[in-house]
Amino acid sequence: MKVGVMAIMMAGLLVSGVAGAAEKTPQQEKMALCNQQAKSQDLKGDARKTFMSECLKKESKLSQMSPQQMKMKNCNGEAGEKKLTGDARKTFMSQCLKKS
């Protein structure tokens, strides 16, 4: 009996979740886009936090960038943080941009 009640409750929650998902606010849509871009760049930790913060800003140009442009921006930022120059920077950028 308890299993049947739980199944009905779970089905109700699932249906209500699907119905609610269709009504996304612009902020939720932006969050989903930023998450998708961060995932495509395989960002983790502080790099992901920084990216998400910039992406979610109201006037952010990041949300208009292609995934490849986003990746280039992040790799360039990482190279700058590491203070890489010359051949070391070129090698780092090449390896960073090849990551899936």
pLDDT digits (tens, 9 = 90+) for 34-73: 888 888 788 888 888 888 888 888 666 666 777 788 788 8
The model's pLDDT over 73-87, given as tens digits with 9 standing for 90+, comes to 888 888 988 999 999
pLDDT of residue 74: 81
What pTM did the predictor assign?
A: 0.43
Q: 3-class DSSP state for residue 85?
A: coil
CA distance 41 to 12: 36
Which residue matches tokens 């949300």? 63
CA distance 91 to 15: 50
Res 88 pLDDT > 90: yes
The backbone torsions φ and ψ at residue 57, rounded to the nearest 5 degrees and listed phi first, read -60, 145
The total number of residues written for the chain in this structure: 100
